[in-house]
Amino acid sequence: MSAKTIVEKNFDFSCPAPLPAKDTILLGHGSGGKLSAELIRDIFLPAFQNPVLARLDDQAIVNVNGQRLAITTDSFVVKPLFFPGGDIGSLAVHGSVNDLAMGGATPLFLSAAFIIEEGFSIDELRRVVNSLRRAAAEAGVQVVTGDTKVVEKGKGDGLFINTTGIGLVPEGVDLSADRARPGDKVLLSGSIGDHGIAILAQREGLEFETQIQSDSAALHTLVADMLGVTSNVTPDMRCMRDPTRGGVSSTLNEIAERSRVGIELDESSLPIHEQVRGACELLGLDPLYVANEGKLIAIVAPEAADAVLQAMRRHPLGAEAQIIGSVKKENPGLVTMRTPFGTTRIVDMLAGDQLPRIC
């Protein structure tokens, strides 16, 4: 490179100014990481501020005539539309059902809105709708209203679905991310990373010896079983979350921040399927940040942890459940991990999406 000549061609390189103010939406704003949290904090919360929204849980819980109603909404933009273990239709049901279930609610009704790109195959739409219908029937929820919009070719990506769910919260159940206390146990219902890796493998045409299946499933019956063995008088069940976008790490970081506690994980207790581990090693990804669609994390009082764990393991969706860590007073707002070497490290929240490493 010849010395320090600065030749400006089509662009101005000369001054290394700081990066510009954040004035553009990036894909990372939808990742469930720090960028998503910033968007909620800076744009949405100030606009709509109210005590229900301020809880920042997966669902809102409102009182209507003495009944506690849980409401949630979720949009599904997954690509590919069909993947091993599910499709956008079943996912649209499981996503909203699970967001209700994480509040302890019994899911009752769903809405379904379809945004379809001009030119989309009616046959594929029928397959998606049938899958959505089956998933709703299996979950015991009814799709009671809906909407259809068609956008011009090139203005959508085939098909997007939004579902809104409504459910009822039983008396005595009060779950929220701000209720974790030092000493509580962190329970995870099964292996992590299956959904994200299944989608990635399908999208990128990566082939493994055995196909990795998405874990997409409705978790409300598992939640009911777990709540069945905990005391309502001194609420032992503090909080439940399904670690979807951003994975286990983002979910636990949110809980640690909202409850102002530290969370310490035990690395050797994390259930991760061998194929998922292999795929993550190959791609340079950390399964703690990979999405799940059929797993839940529960923060449980220490005295109830074993009973809840046993209840989880008796349910088919919780057969591989583990206690993966505990809540601490040290390092409030941080998630740390005890390694098998006896050392600890931070499990950080990512800014945006996890990126495959170069080598």
Closest Cα to residue 323, out of 183, 181, 186, 225?
186
User: Which residues are at the interface with another protein (CB under 8 A)?
Assistant: 1-2, 4-11, 13-20, 24-28, 34, 204, 206, 274, 277-278, 281, 283-284, 331, 334, 336, 339-346, 348, 351-352, 355-359
Distance in angstroms (rounded) separating the CA atoms of residues 99 and 101: 5
Closer residue to another protein, CB minimum distance, 62 or 206:
206
In the bound complex, what is the minimum distance in angstroms from residue 10's beta carbon to another protein? 7
Closer residue to another protein, CB minimum distance, 35 or 323:
35
In the bound complex, what is the minimum distance in angstroms from residue 279's beta carbon to another protein? 11
In the bound complex, what is the minimum distance in angstroms from residue 142's beta carbon to another protein? 39
Closest Cα to residue 347, out of 220, 243, 250?
250
Closer residue to another protein, CB minimum distance, 18 or 66:
18
In the bound complex, what is the minimum distance in angstroms from residue 341's beta carbon to another protein? 5
In the bound complex, what is the minimum distance in angstroms from residue 334's beta carbon to another protein? 6
Closer residue to another protein, CB minimum distance, 126 or 203:
203
Closer residue to another protein, CB minimum distance, 31 or 59:
31
Chain-centroid distance, C-alpha 260? 21
What is the largest distance, in Å, between two alpha-carbon atoms of the chain? 77
Q: How far is CA 346 from CA 182, 267, 287, 325, 339, in A?
A: 18, 12, 15, 13, 11
In the bound complex, what is the minimum distance in angstroms from residue 152's beta carbon to another protein? 17
* Beta bridge partner(s), residue 345: 337
Closer residue to another protein, CB minimum distance, 1 or 64:
1
In the bound complex, what is the minimum distance in angstroms from residue 91's beta carbon to another protein? 23
Distance in angstroms (rounded) separating the CA atoms of residues 63 and 75: 25
CB 80 within 8 A of CB 115: no
Distance in angstroms (rounded) separating the CA atoms of residues 230 and 228: 6
Closer residue to another protein, CB minimum distance, 27 or 122:
27
Q: How far is CA 118 from CA 44, 148, 149, 192, 280, in A?
A: 31, 12, 10, 36, 36
